[in-house]
Structure 1
Amino acid sequence: MELSEIYNNIYFAVGVHPYDATNYDREYLEQYITHPKCVAVGECGLDYYRLPETIEEIEEEKRLQKEVFIDQIELAKQYELPLIVHIRDSSADSLEILGKYAGDKGGVLHCYNADEALLKLISKNFYYGIGGVLTFKNARKLINVYPKIPLDRLLVETDAPYLTPHPHRGKRNEPSYTKLVISKMSELSNIEQRVLEEKTTQNAFNLFNKMV
């Protein structure tokens, strides 16, 4: 937030990751959501990759994550902001919640996990964040699903410092590497890189319209 107040071209999003659901504080979050340069709520969502061992603990963890996710969706609707959504091993529950609660502003599925069922959220004004995973040799599922995403629903992202594109995989990720993602997108779609750069940039402005 501090940097956004110094530089005109820096904006921010604020949200509580599902791993931090136990620390969720709605009033604290609202202090930042109301800032004029906050452009989205997130990343928020569901993550079932690391769950407790007992059935009771698992159910409680899922219940808490869902509760916190839904409340952040409600905040996004209240302040007319899009969502940045984290989905890991939780597509069915995420789809159900977003289908029921998401508002008109939609959002982006951060590091889209290639679950084709989630493409139903196009009708809810969601975009699909494509990052370095698309360049990985073992990304067959994403490579197969990618052509099914409409051009006007695509965003390019880094997830820096993680998920660095090939051939820099294993190193610290950075925004300049998005060109490698665009290159792979161009290869898979037969769309010129320049067109993809222009369109995904416009998509970002359409979604995060406070940046315009």
Structure 2
Amino acid sequence: MIFDSHAHYDDEQFNEDRAELLKSLKNNGVVGIINCGSSLEGLEMSVKLSQEYDFVHAAAGIHPENADEFNESVKRRIEELSEAKKIVAVGEIGLDYYWEENPPKEVQKQVFRTQMEIAKQYNLPVIIHDREAHGDTLAIMKEYPGVTGVVHCFSGSVEFAKECIKLGYYIGVTGVVTFKNSKVIKEVVKNIPIERLLVETDCPYMAPTPHRGKRNQSDYIEYIMKVIAEIKGLTVDEISEFTIFNTKSLFKI
């Protein structure tokens, strides 16, 4: 059984077969999906999907790449959605310093803090995007000791992971862990407690080996769990049980 803790089925890559695919996933052992908003349009679509499919839950937030579209109206909409039953988190929020064309760092940090405030106000976990911004991400996380969540698609060191765990956060593991050259995330998985791991696709991106480079989907998490099981010396069934329990615990599902 699989609980995909981070997906983007609102993405246009699923426009041709979204309904058929989601139906097949449910029949293929996927017991839950958290669909994460990235833009205003994306978070509205996430909410719509959560209303249409009983096993889909939604997170409402603005991705750092879209921080420029965050304004008072968007803030009010996220606050309004945060009271809805199937909104289980504020996300995907955070910092992305990888792309030069992204909004300025100070704009990203301001929008990140504002959404952390919303999570604090509504007692919701957060789904954090952190790319090439470990120091600033951790600093802002520390500003909100009452907020927890997951650092999704984790790309930091073992030391950074341990700092996140001290703050009550979980670590999101994607298909990257299946790649041959993915030594860092394998070390992270090896060195942190299974009780703090979540599995995710970040679909349609980050498809695991043997589907690398193709459109990703939630049942491909089986390949992620196999690698985690090898690293941890556990069975795939045990990894499944732990990660489903962890996801449900964090998001109060």
Q: TM-score, normalised by structure 1?
A: 0.91
**Correspondences of 1:1-40 after superposition (within 5 Å):** 1-24=47-70, 25-40=74-89
Aligned residues of 1:136 and 1:166 also touching (Cα < 8 A) = yes
Aligned alpha-carbon RMSD (Å)? 1.5
Does the CA contact (< 8 Å) of 2:59 and 2:90 recur in 1? yes
Partner of 1:42: 91
CA distance in 2, matches of 1:114, 1:48: 14
1:169 equivalent in structure 2: 212
Give 3-state SS (helix, strand or coil) of 2:214's partner.
coil
Higher relative contact order (CA 8 A, sep 6+): 2
Q: Secondary structure at the residue paired with 2:143?
A: helix
1:55 match? none
Q: Work out the CA distance in 2 between the residues paired with 1:82 and 1:102.
A: 12
Moved more, 1-10 or 200-209: 1-10
Residue 54 of structure 2 aligns to a residue whose secondary structure is coil
In structure 1, runs of 5+ residues without a counterpart are: 53-57
What are the superposed Cα offsets for residues 17-54 of structure 1, whole Å, 9 maximum, x if unpaired? 001111113112222222111000000000000125xx
Q: Which residue of 2 aligns with 1:110?
A: 152
Misfit runs of 4+, over 4 Å: none
Q: Displacement, 1:11?
A: 1.3
Contact 2:150–2:171 (CA<8 Å) still a contact in 1?
A: yes
1:154 counterpart = 2:197: yes
Identical pairs, percent:
40
Which amino acid in structure 2 is aligned with residue 189 of structure 1?
Answer: K
CA distance in 1 between counterparts of 2:107 and 2:52 reads 36
* 1:151 CA displacement: 0.9
SS at match of 2:161: helix
Q: Is the 8 A contact 2:195 2:246 kept in 1?
A: yes
Match of 2:41 in 1: none
Give unmatched runs, 5+ long, in structure 2: 1-46
Cα distance in 2 for partners of 1:43, 1:5 equals 19
